[in-house]
Amino acid sequence: MSVGIPIKLLHEGIGHTVSVETKSGILYRGTLLFAEDNMNCLLENVSVVKKDGKQILLEQVYIRGGSVSFMIFPDMLRYAPIFKINKSKTKTNFATIRRAMEVHARISSKNKDVKA
């Protein structure tokens, strides 16, 4: 079974400060120490913000992956190698693009004739 890009991004985030919001509405912000493929996460130096706005500081928190609603990663991970497109694998089919442009031109000219 291959691992998808979200899980690869999760593993790239190890050692960085991340924010994790759970389905119950609790927000955790801390340094990601460990992550599993099922999105279980271990954070350290964690700031916990509960639904009512109370803030708690904890040394470590283990968050079950099934309870994660979403995660926020640092912007610097946008340039991670997992997002690089291998240009040798992507080939542009110019014939298909040309045909699509011709069809588009025919449709637009028909629409102009109908309006006139």
Domains and CATH numbers, the chain: 5-84 (2.30.30.100)
0.85 cut: is pTM over it?
A: no
Per-residue pLDDT tens, the chain, 116 aa: give them. 567 888 888 988 999 999 999 999 999 999 999 999 999 999 999 999 999 999 999 999 999 999 999 999 988 887 777 777 655 555 556 677 777 777 777 777 765 555 55
Report in angstroms the alpha-carbon separations of 73 from 16, 26, 40, 55, 103: 8, 17, 15, 21, 43
Report in angstroms the alpha-carbon separations of 2 from 64, 70, 86: 21, 21, 18
Question: H-type helices in 1-116, by residue range?
Answer: 5-12, 94-115
Q: What integer pLDDT is reported at residue 35 of this predicted model?
A: 95
CA 48-52-54 angle, 5° bins: 40
Q: What integer pLDDT is reported at residue 4 of this predicted model?
A: 81
Helix (H, G, I), strand (E, B) or coil at 65: helix
Helix (H, G, I), strand (E, B) or coil at 61: strand
Report in angstroms the alpha-carbon separations of 31 from 1, 54, 105: 28, 20, 54
